[in-house]
C-alpha cells in the first residue's frame, strides 16, 4: 500500500486512545512557554536542544527526563494548557474517546496540590467533551518506584474527586517494583469504586502480568509485550478477554524491541488477544495515535482487516457503556466498508 494512501486510511479511522500519560504529551514548545511563564530555568537552552535529549536507552532514562519536564507544571492553568494541547492534537487525528492517565505523585511530592492538578486536567477534558465531542475517562496512576504507603496517601487525596476519576493504574519504573508491592492499595481502590489497570510486562517479565491479574485483579494490562513467551498466559488473556494496551513507538524508543518489525501486536491479533495500539508518551516518543498506527502498519504490513480489528478492539477495551461501544464499533465497520478495495 502506498504510504500516502495508508496514512489517509489511518487518519479516517474513528479511534479510542486508552494508554496516554498526560504528562508525556508535554511538547517542548509548550514546556518552554510554561517555564517562562513560571520563571523556571530549563537545563536546555532551546527547543532543538531539548528535542535532541529525547533519545533513550531504556525506561529509566526516559523517566528521568519526564520528571524534569513535569517540574514546570505548577498552576491549574499549566495542567489545563497541557491537557488541552493534547486534546486538540488528537482531535485532529480523529480520536473520539480518550482514557487519560495522570500522575499526581509527580506533582504533590514537590508541593503542588492534588486539587490544582486534577482541576486543570478535568476542566480541559470537559471543554473537549463540549467543543470537540471527545468523550473521556480519567485514570489516576500510582508511581511504583515509591512505597505503597505513599500510594495510600494519594488514594486518600483522591477521594473528594472520585466522581471525576474512573480508575487507578500503576506506572513508572517497572523492574524491581512488581505489582505484588501494591496489593493492599489496589484492593482499597477497588473498594472505593475505582476500576483497576496496571503496567506490566513492558520491561518486566511475564510473572508481573500474572501478578497484575491474580493479585491486583486488574481488568486491563498496559503494555503486556512479554506475554507471548507464556502459552498459559496467552490462553488466559484470550479466554478472559483481557485487553492489552500496546504502545509501539514507545517500545522502539525505550528499546523494549529493537525495531518496529519485531513488534508483537500482529502475532497477538493472530492468537485472538484483545490487542490495541496507543501512544503512551507521544511528545517524547515521536508520535501520537496516527503515527503509531502508521509505523506499525508499515513495518508489519498490516492489512485493512487488521487495522479495523485494532480500532474495534480499543472501543471494546474502553470503559464506555455497551451501547456507546457498539455505536463506535459500527462507525469503524462502516468506515472500512466504504473504502475502495
pLDDT in tens, 28-45: 999 999 999 999 988 888
Residue linked to cell 486518600: 156
Q: Which residues are catalytic?
A: 202
* 281 belongs to an annotated ligand binding site: yes
Q: Please check if 199 is assigned to a binding site.
A: yes
Tens of pLDDT, residue by residue over 225-267, are 999 999 999 999 999 999 999 999 999 999 999 999 999 999 9
Residue written as grid cell 532551546: 46
> Domain with 135 in it: what CATH number?
3.20.20.140
Q: Could you give the residue ranges of the DSSP H alpha helices within the chain? A: 3-12, 28-37, 47-52, 59-70, 76-91, 104-108, 114-131, 148-158, 183-191, 206-214, 231-239, 248-253, 265-270, 282-285, 289-300, 304-317, 322-337
Cβ atoms 160, 189 nearer than 8 A: no
Q: Which of 281, 167, 290 is nearest to 219 (CA)?
A: 167
Residue 21 marked ligand-binding: yes
Taking 80 as the threshold, does the pLDDT of residue 340 lie above it?
no
Angle at 172 between CA 88 and CA 135, to 5 degrees: 30
Q: Which residue has the higher pLDDT, 214 or 60?
A: 214
Q: Which domain holds residue 168?
A: 3-337
The structural domain count of the chain equals 1
Take residue 221 and report the three cell numbers written for it: 494490562
Mean pLDDT of 271-277: 98
Mean pLDDT of the chain: 96
- pLDDT at site 50: 85
Q: Binning pLDDT at 50, 70 and 90, where does residue 321 land?
A: very high
Annotated binding residue 231: no
Q: How confident is the model at residue 317 (pLDDT cuts 50, 70, 90)?
A: very high
* pLDDT, tens digit (0-9, with 9 covering 90-100), for 287-302: 999 999 999 999 999 9
What's the confidence (pLDDT) of residue 63? 83
Q: Residue 300: phi, psi to the nearest 5? A: -100, 0
pLDDT surpasses 70 at 341: no
280 is in an annotated binding site: yes
pLDDT tens, 298-316? 999 999 999 999 999 999 9
Q: Taking residues 141-166, what's their average pLDDT? A: 98
Structure pTM? 0.96
pLDDT in tens, 56-78: 888 888 888 888 889 999 999 99
The whole-number pLDDT of residue 328 equals: 98
Amino acid at each position: 500500500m502506498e504510504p500516502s494512501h495508508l496514512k489517509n486510511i489511518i487518519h479516517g479511522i474513528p479511534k479510542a486512545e486508552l494508554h496516554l500519560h498526560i504528562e508525556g504529551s508535554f511538547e517542548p514548545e509548550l514546556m518552554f512557554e510554561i517555564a517562562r511563564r513560571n520563571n523556571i530555568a530549563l537545563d536546555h537552552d532551546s527547543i532543538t536542544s531539548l528535542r535532541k535529549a529525547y533519545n533513550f536507552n531504556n525506561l529509566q532514562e526516559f523517566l528521568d527526563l519526564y520528571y524534569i519536564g513535569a517540574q514546570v507544571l505548577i498552576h491549574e492553568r499549566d495542567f489545563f494548557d497541557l491537557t488541552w494541547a493534547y486534546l486538540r492534537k488528537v482531535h485532529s487525528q480523529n480520536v473520539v474517546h480518550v482514557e487519560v492517565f495522570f500522575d499526581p505523585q509527580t506533582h504533590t511530592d514537590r508541593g503542588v496540590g492534588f486539587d490544582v492538578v486534577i482541576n486543570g486536567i478535568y476542566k480541559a477534558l470537559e471543554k473537549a467533551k463540549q467543543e470537540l465531542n471527545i468523550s473521556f475517562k480519567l485514570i489516576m496512576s500510582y508511581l511504583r518506584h515509591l512505597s505503597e504507603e505513599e500510594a495510600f496517601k494519594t488514594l486518600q487525596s483522591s477521594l473528594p474527586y472520585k466522581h471525576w476519576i474512573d480508575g487507578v493504574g500503576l506506572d513508572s519504573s517497572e523492574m524491581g517494583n512488581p505489582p505484588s508491592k501494591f496489593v493492599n492499595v489496589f484492593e482499597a481502590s477497588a473498594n472505593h469504586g475505582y476500576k483497576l489497570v496496571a503496567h506490566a510486562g513492558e520491561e518486566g517479565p511475564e510473572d508481573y502480568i500474572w501478578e497484575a491479574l491474580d493479585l491486583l485483579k486488574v481488568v486491563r494490562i498496559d503494555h503486556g509485550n512479554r506475554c507471548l513467551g507464556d502459552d498459559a498466559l496467552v490462553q488466559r488473556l484470550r479466554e478472559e478477554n483481557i485487553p492489552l494496551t500496546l504502545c509501539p513507538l514507545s517500545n522502539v524508543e525505550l528499546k523494549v524491541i529493537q525495531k518496529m518489525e519485531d513488534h508483537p501486536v500482529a502475532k497477538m491479533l493472530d492468537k485472538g488477544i484483545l490487542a490495541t495500539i496507543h501512544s503512551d508518551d507521544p511528545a517524547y516518543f515521536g508520535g501520537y495515535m496516527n503515527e503509531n498506527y502508521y509505523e506499525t502498519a508499515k513495518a508489519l504490513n498490516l492489512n485493512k482487516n487488521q487495522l479495523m480489528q485494532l480500532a474495534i478492539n480499543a472501543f471494546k477495551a474502553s470503559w464506555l457503556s455497551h451501547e456507546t461501544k457498539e455505536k463506535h464499533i459500527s462507525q469503524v465497520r462502516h468506515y472500512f466498508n466504504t473504502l475502495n478495495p
